[in-house]
Amino acid sequence: MTVLVTGAAGFIGFHLASTLLDRGERVVGVDNFIHFYEPALKRARAAELQTRDGFVFHELDVADAAGLEALLERYPEIDRVLHMAGQPGVRHSIEKPWEFQRSNIDGQLAMVEAVRKRPGFKHLVFASSSSVYGDSKDVPFALDNPADRPRSLYAASKRAAEHIAAAYSHLYGTPITALRFFTVYGPWGRPDMASFLFIDAVLRGNKLFLFNGGALKRDFTYIDDIVAGVLAALDRPPAPDSEGLRYAVYNLGNHRTVDVRDFVKVIEKACGRKALIEEAPMQPGDVHVTYADISASTRDLGYVPRTPIEQGIPLTVAWYKRHYGLN
């Protein structure tokens, strides 16, 4: 059968589509190339996928409910969905709140409404975020930690997407899994993320801004580990719980927290250059720490992250140099 991957030209969606193709799946990819960051990088990812047998691509906004339903009708063989499309960015959500409602809430509603009508549909897996935990002081972040104090509209929109999914699973029995990602990095990464920004600054000799003076901790998770966790979830639709609900939530992180200043040191070593550091204040909507409790993911999905930053960062730097033609 066939997997629909939304946000296929995005960072995580691109890697998921590539790995699905590697294992012999047919993939339908969609993306609307929203201009949150340089469209050229998204176009390059999409072009890379379009060289692969078994992949077809459609430019589509998943919040276009009629367009999404028409696409699914065109491909009746689609029986699973990896819904990675959405508007990312904690700080950007403060400036462009309506974009986040459309992408992350309207898009989620369009998706669950579309798949619940499909006979024989097997599983919807969608991207949530560690941001739903807010600035929690209870670490590591466990699934039973409160997620009712969002620090940004981005976090609120992802939590809303989880509630929408749970409601639809309850109403229609749709098997749905939410995955809370923790600070994903790696080749083809998003230019707004710390790993990309830091590598870019160090290699080009530009200032590297450390918010809150770098006194932040993050659970940096390499893309290959995330892909392994997502596909493990895809292959294991949730069984009915005690109330008959076929809905599950998991954390996907590295299960270790790294001081951002130490993260910069690893980047400096991989780049062979020192960073020009400038300290900056804490940003609105940001949090002090992210740290995943992955015990449920390990128990149910066999998820075991294997890539420390000392391995993942050099791989990311090597890709960056190749892609942008830097020595």
State the DSSP code for 86: -
Burial 236-258 (b: 16+ CB within 10 A, else e): bbbeeeeeebbbbbbbbbbbebb
Supply the range of the domain harboring residue 139. Answer: 2-185+220-253
Is residue 297 in some structural domain?
no
Residue 304 lies in a domain: no
Q: Which helix (H) or strand (E) holds 314?
A: helix 309-324
pTM for this prediction: 0.95
**Residues contacting 106, CB < 8 A, separation 6+:** 63
Q: What is the pLDDT of residue 195?
A: 94
pLDDT at residue number 283: 76
154 is catalytic: yes
E strand or H helix at 46, and its extent?
helix 39-49
Tell me if 320 is assigned to some domain: no
Q: Which of the residues in the chain have pLDDT under 50?
A: none
| pLDDT of res. 189 | 95
**142 domain residue, yes or no:** yes
In a domain, 105, yes or no: yes
CATH of the domain at 159: 3.40.50.720
In a domain, 175, yes or no: yes
If you count DSSP H runs as helices and E runs as strands, how many of each does the chain have, helices first?
A: 12, 13
Token pair 């749970």: residue: 166
Tokens of 128: 């949530």
Q: Distance between CA 308 and CA 64 in Å, rounded?
A: 39
Q: What is the DSSP pairing of strand 26-31 with strand 55-59?
A: parallel
Q: Helix (H, G, I), strand (E, B), or coil: what is residue 210?
A: strand
Instruction: Classify residue 85: in a domain, yes or no.
Output: yes
pLDDT of residue 214: 72
**What's residue 285's pLDDT?**
61
Q: What is the pLDDT of residue 218?
A: 92
- Count of the separate structural domains present in the chain: 1
Catalytic residue among 154, 168, 247, 291: 154
User: Minimal CA–CA distance to 119: which of 77, 81, 65, 83?
Assistant: 77
Identify whether 233 is part of a domain. yes
